[in-house]
A and B are shown apart, each in its own frame.
Chain A
Amino acid sequence: GESVGLHLPTLSVQEGDNSIINCAYSNSASDYFIWYKQESGKGPQFIIDIRSNMDKRQGQRVTVLLNKTVKHLSLQIAATQPGDSAVYFCAENLGGGNKLTFGTGTQLKVEL
């Protein structure tokens, strides 16, 4: 399944499918980007990050893609599991000092 920016805040996928969550960031000068996962009643949890001098980074079951030309960030989750159900936020660092600006978020729902 695939979400499109902020126009589809909820993404529903079948267990075992791949998920793609998209994010449009605001500032072309941002040099560092992070994806966070937030489960109900908990604080955001770091998933993966990427610096602006890279266009792809892989982690365990997750991949982040960065397209600076169109200011677009995506998070790919392979073989989505029920435990992946959460709200996912992208965040950008607008100018150093670890001052992060968060996007609105996408709710991922995994159907059994």
Chain B
Amino acid sequence: EAGVAQSPRYKIIEKRQSVAFWCNPISGHATLYWYQQILGQGPKLLIQFQNNGVVDDSQLPKDRFSAERLKGVDSTLKIQPAKLEDSAVYLCASSLETRTNEKLFFGSGTQLSVL
């Protein structure tokens, strides 16, 4: 079974530039999550989708971050404009459903460096 695919693997940009990350979840998984993991910390949920609808985006900095999952499969996360504090690994995860105790499967992440 193919896992969660993410690209690019690494990205280096200057502050105030824009950047986009792509995620392809495990086939058949209805729920997709974007997490931000700052060095030395645990992942923090940014946004959660159920199919193409947003379940929770309460921790997404909406002035600069946006995410979409238009067809309920792939998803993109965008930052515009980027700040130095956005340097982190952006992890995508998926699960079969949204209910409690559904296992989350994570991709390897995109490591973003903002200079």
Contact = CB atoms under 8 A, between A and B. Distances in A.
Contacts, number: 63
B46 to A, nearest CB: 11
Counting chain A residues whose Cβ lies within 8 A of the other chain, the interface size class is: 20 to 34
B42 A104 contact: yes
Interface in A22-64: 31-32, 41-46, 49, 51
Given A102-B42, A103-B42, A41 B108 contact: yes
Nearest to A93: B100
Counting chain B residues whose Cβ lies within 8 A of the other chain, the interface size class is: 20 to 34
B103 A43 contact: no
A98 B98 contact: yes
Contact of A99 (B40, B45, B109): B45
Contacts of B31: 98
A88 to B, nearest CB: 10
Interface in B79-115: 91, 93, 95, 97-109
A75 B42 CA distance: 17
Contacts of A51: 101
A69 B89 CA distance: 34
